[in-house]
Structure 1
């Protein structure tokens, strides 16, 4: 059984790798003196998808949540005790912040010489293309519902008859989650940048606010509650919906 200390460590490390690689791909396509500049939305989506794969694989001992919305969904669904939830949350936020700081360190020279330093906030956190709080919230709820509902209804492989694993839809392991994230980004990510993870947005937003980035813009704290509340509501609704179905345990 994984101890709370181990849960904290693996969630922190997994979420740090998630935001290091995820923010990193956005930096690569955004910063004017990066080799990936102009790579586009599809590259960003694939980068974030594989960032989830890497982070979740590392955090496997803790259940690979790396996302408070997943944690709240799993707690409602009965997969983890509520007493563990704060440990997951704290580790995820710290990890999200640390990963974003490491991304900045990797791209420091490009941040220092970019032609549009005021436009660097989007490397770290999300924002709407059409600001409208209620509808931006709806977008984040829907996207996160899809993610958490898929995770809940596709549990890891379990031993079957004769010891042969019963893979089901979990045959691809954490790679399958990467495909789901890429799919959500391609289909639902356009309006708000698809945070679908409070730690992925809040941690890097904190990092952006405190890092010494030349000519940086505002961290937009007025919007920051939407990529927190929306995913948490979406994750909770996904768990409640799953509990209402015959699949519930």
Structure 2
């Protein structure tokens, strides 16, 4: 059993790594002049799949590798995580997401400077609905997040993986990669309040050229939808299988 301090460090680092690898893949595809410019959606799917897989392998046995406030809240609502640790976990997840995005900006700064499409720039930070529909965005984020949390709990609790949780953590990466590839078209997707909100805050603050709006009118969707999906998905799995 690791101390709360060690687990918080793991959560912060894990969230930062997820954002660096995930949003880094988006920047590589979307920003002008990169080696991976226009490489396609599967590059992003692989980037985000590995962005979840690698922290899970590093920190799954330390902090549980939530790296997602919606997962932390969903576990607490179902009595699977102590409420006293929810706020500390969320705080370090948010800090990790902001720090990770800052690394992406530092690495791709010359490409941000020459990219003129503000939506391509925002897309490397946060999510937006492709048809500018908040309802479609909410449905997409809820369904994707529900599958993520229900499946993640099933994978980590399934008897099949109990003797080798490392394999379960590999499976989590493939789960996220598949969700991005299959259900990511409408919104991005976020599936994680910290992954969207933290970078969106940074987007609003940084003086990037051509950055345009941070689209705060949509910003509540990738926060609320994953939280509700996390509560519902984890509660359903616990009710039926635990």
TM-score, normalised on structure 1?
A: 0.90
Query: How far, CA to CA, are the matches of 2:221 and 2:79 in structure 1?
Result: 26
Partner residue, 1:215: 210
Please tell me whether the aligned partners of residues 16 and 55 of structure 1 are also in contact (alpha carbons under 8 angstroms): no
Partner residue, 2:58: 58
Distance 1:208-1:194 versus aligned 2 partners, 3 A rule: same
Query: How far, CA to CA, are the matches of 2:185 and 2:176 in structure 1?
Result: 13
* 1:144-169 Cα shifts (integer Å, max 9, x gaps): 110110111122688x9xxxx634xx
Partner residue, 1:81: 82
> Which deviates more from structure 2 when the two are superposed, residues 109-118 or residues 95-104?
109-118
Partner residue, 1:166: 163
Q: CA deviation at 1:189?
A: 1.0
Please tell me whether the aligned partners of residues 115 and 121 of structure 2 are also in contact (alpha carbons under 8 angstroms): no
Is 1:189 the counterpart of 2:184? The answer is yes
Distance 1:12-1:171 versus aligned 2 partners, 3 A rule: closer
Give ranges in structure 2 of 5+ residues lacking alignment: none
Q: CA deviation at 1:72?
A: 1.6
1:147 is paired with a residue whose SS is helix
Please tell me whether the aligned partners of residues 136 and 186 of structure 2 are also in contact (alpha carbons under 8 angstroms): no
Give ranges in structure 1 of 5+ residues lacking alignment: none
Query: How far, CA to CA, are the matches of 2:55 and 2:189 in structure 1?
Result: 17
Partner residue, 1:13: 13
Q: CA deviation at 1:178?
A: 0.9
> Which deviates more from structure 2 when the two are superposed, residues 2-11 or residues 187-196?
2-11
TM-score, normalised on structure 2?
A: 0.93
Q: CA deviation at 1:108?
A: 1.1
1:134 is paired with a residue whose SS is helix
Partner residue, 2:140: 139
Tell me the number of residue pairs that the alignment of Structure 1 and Structure 2 aligns: 241
Correspondences of 1:36-115 after superposition (within 5 Å): 36-60=36-60, 61-115=62-116
1:193 is paired with a residue whose SS is coil
Distance 1:243-1:157 versus aligned 2 partners, 3 A rule: closer
Select 2:219's aligned residue among 218, 221, 224: 224
Please tell me whether the aligned partners of residues 118 and 215 of structure 1 are also in contact (alpha carbons under 8 angstroms): no
Point out the structure with the larger helix share. Answer: 2
Q: CA deviation at 1:117?
A: 5.2
Please tell me whether the aligned partners of residues 67 and 93 of structure 2 are also in contact (alpha carbons under 8 angstroms): yes
Please tell me whether the aligned partners of residues 48 and 182 of structure 1 are also in contact (alpha carbons under 8 angstroms): yes
